[in-house]
Amino acid sequence: MPPGTRTSLYENQEYLDAAPFAQMTLESINAADPTNPTVDPVPYTGVQFVAIPEFQGIGTQVGQEFSAALAGQQSVDEALANAQSLTTEEMEAAGY
């Protein structure tokens, strides 16, 4: 899929029918304000959502690396390096 092109999960009627929380989740995503990301003021901007099709897969892979570190299967430094490497590879493969 070319960069900037995405098919929203929220455009899939089967998902909407099966997930009673879908509408609330979509509304939350759309209402997120990266300039005011928390209830209390913070010195940064941004929200935990990236509107690219690769985001979910990257999140899953990175989560697995961090889980392996927490389980003692690799060091934190190894998990961070692996996460950075797989993210870079995925983004380059997608054309970003």
Per-residue pLDDT of the chain (96 residues; tens, 9 = 90+): 444 444 577 888 898 889 989 889 888 888 888 899 888 999 998 887 777 889 889 999 999 999 999 999 999 999 999 999 999 999 999 999
> Which conformational region is residue 74 in: left (phi greater than 0), alpha (psi within -120 to 50 degrees), or beta?
beta
Domain residue spans of the chain? 1-47, 54-96
Give the model's pLDDT for residue 56: 85
Does the pTM of the predicted model rise above 0.85?
Answer: no
Dist. CA 72–CA 94, nearest whole Å: 32
Dist. CA 6–CA 52, nearest whole Å: 7
Q: What is the CA radius of gyration of the chain?
A: 16
C-alpha pair distances (Å), 31 with each of 8, 16, 41: 16, 19, 17
